[in-house]
Amino acid sequence: MSGLDLEALARRVEIDQSVVERMAHARDLWPRSTLSLVQGTIPPIPEIVAFPAHEEEVRAALDWAVVNRVAVVPWGAGSGVCGAAAGMAGSLVLDMKRMARVGEVDAATATVRVQPGVLGQHFEDALERQGWASRHSPSSIWCSTVGGWAASRSAGQFSSRYGKFDDMVAATRVVAPARTYRTGLWCEDVDLHPWVLGSEGALGVITELLVRVVPVPEARWLRGYRFPSAASAWTAMREIMQAELHPCVLRLYDAVDTRVGGRGKGARQSGGVLKGLTGLVTGEMSLRLPLSLPRLLNALARWGGHECVLVAGWEGDPRVVDILSRHGHEILTREGVDLGAEPGEHWYAHRHDVSYKLSPIFSRGAFADTMEVACTWSRLPDLDRAVRAALGEECFVMAHYSHVYREGCSIYFTFAGVGSLDVYDRTWARALAAAASVRGTVAHHHGVGQAKMEACAREMAGMSATFHELKRDLDPLDILIPGRLFPEIDMPNPTAPSLGIDPVSQVATLSAQADATERDAALAREGWALRYPTQLPLSRSLHGPRPPWDARILGASVLSQGGRRTVFVDVPRSGAGPDPRGSFPARDYETVTVPLVRLSDTALTVDSLANDVRPARRVGSGWEIRGPAAPELAKLCLPPEAAS
């Protein structure tokens, strides 16, 4: 690209224009780009890579890009799998890894200031030296950054207990072309916090974060269980979450993944085609022939039986872990067979290994990829069936179920097919359409990038206008990842969701403007109450505090004054870009989907909470503890003389 004043940029920030650096920043780990590269197609190459060490250098780089009309792509560690961090042709890539300072934990607020370029494992190591942890544990923790986690709304393997990373971020400082601004607890004006998290750099470059942390867990309890079917295990997982037992992990492997992975003593091992297929990955033979018969492979896999293995775990205060794990074990052994501690301990020791096992498949004439979708418990069977069938038309498929919440669950599909870009694109198009057809979110924790941007725009139909209005204000010349998030798609105005209660998922879709007294009376007649009680219409009660492991709103429909409707599908922790479902004017809300509690469940109120005891909700001046463990947990919350 001629005519650029690179010397002016080099005077303000360290830059590198070598072919090696430009090629290294030309792509992330999106499997489609890997497949394309293996087949000889060189990706679009950025013009220059900059390595800012301070916020002032980020500002200088953006100012230079504005003057020179150069696209900017923020870059963490390049481990994203959706193409969000791939450098565009002629672009400026901002590699943020020099901004890698971790501050001292503020014990009074349990927060820490951290810069965006810190690698995940380095972040945890720095916190552990101070006696703290984030417990955000994605499988990519060794090769992803804190800033990347926030930009993509990442979910770690302990999200059931601690929430996703966006739940942990209390504040950010962001540099956009038009101005520098703060969000969350640092906000001084209109708070763009829910828009920045998940925006993948389109609304500015995050230069500092305030992250909530927890003490390093004192105790940990892990175990494996064998279930006769995935459906029986889903029931146990749902009961544990809705019993307020707060596990750190519930991770179920489907029958194929159980056999291929050889998970858990007592789990039957497979032979034949499945064993041969996995062996080929490390051998010299091409994978094209076996993967050209995907329906046969999937049929043979189903013949192996339905047994599957679940890993369950609790961590925290030893007394609380003992109580919660005992009650959880009781639920799990109603239909599950106890396999002992080994499967859980083995998973924990190897929980990050998966990030390094897929690349040999591409050199054997195939591709492998993963897709994470999510929905409420009542729709989980339909989502599993629909997406599995779509993927299975041209791919070998297996799945595990993790990132489990009170209201629903994520499914993480792993699939492999013949190394053809046409097959790859058809497979993704079918699977994304299948997820949307049963009201599942098309992204839970990998972000959007190029892979899902059209599907996410459809899922969030109506939101793109507001997003692009914000972008024009913050980035008037559209230099930040232009064209990558929420492309304009012509879609009909969606209809508002139907009102009603979903007793399986323990949520209700209610009128956002209804009188509170009438609303609560109607719920009580059906045996339910709001998890977040309010004496106001729901439209005016969307911004209250919530713990990071819980959801205040699952879905909503918003009708703007211009008549355009935005519908946020009711799913637990959608990762389809930013999550501003509670950020619109109160008058615009039509419906809101919110979590419920069952009035017949055990519930005890305490004046204060013991260490690691998690309440279901705030009631008056006290805390309500619910579920089968409530009597024992309540005793921990009493003064010693009262407890005895």
| Domains of the chain, CATH where assigned | 1-215+461-488 (3.30.465.10), 219-437 (3.40.462.40), 500-598 (3.30.465.10), 603-643 (no CATH)
Between residues 26 and 276, the one the model is more confident about? 26
Q: What is the pLDDT of residue 561?
A: 80
Which residues fall within 8 angstroms of residue 424, CB to CB, at 6 or more apart?
A: 31, 32, 35, 367, 369, 417
Is 80 exceeded by the pLDDT of residue 287? Answer: no
Flag whether pLDDT at 359 surpasses 80.
no
Q: How much of the chain is helix, strand and coil, in % rounded to 5?
A: 35, 25, 45
Report the pLDDT value the prediction gives residue 282, as an integer from 0 to 100. 44
State yes or no: pLDDT of 235 exceeds 80: yes
Percentage of the chain beyond pLDDT 70 is 94
Mean pLDDT of the chain: 92
Q: Is the pLDDT of residue 355 over 80?
A: no
Q: Is residue 120 very low, low, confident or very high in pLDDT (cuts 50, 70, 90)? A: very high
643: helix, strand or coil: helix
pLDDT-derived band at 641, boundaries 50, 70, 90: low
Q: Are 154 and 217 in contact (CB under 8 A)?
A: no
Kindly state the average pLDDT of the residues 311-316: 98
Q: How confident is the model at residue 268 (pLDDT cuts 50, 70, 90)?
A: very low
Q: Which is more confident, 492 or 66?
A: 66
Region 563-590 average pLDDT: 92
Is residue 137 within 8 A of residue 251, CB to CB? The reply is: no
Confidence of residue 291 (pLDDT cuts 50, 70, 90): confident
* End-to-end alpha carbon distance in the chain: 77
Q: Does residue 156 carry a pLDDT above 80?
A: yes
Q: What is the pTM of this model?
A: 0.94
The residue with greater pLDDT, 219 or 465, is 219
- CA atoms of 251 and 404, how far apart (whole Å): 8
- The lowest-confidence range among 321-335, 338-352, 442-456, 461-475 is 461-475
Q: How far apart are CA 530 and CA 551, in angstroms?
A: 12
pLDDT band at 356 (very low <50, low <70, confident <90, very high): low
The yes-or-no verdict on residue 572 having pLDDT over 50 is yes
Q: Quick one: pLDDT band at residue 2, thresholds 50, 70, 90?
A: low
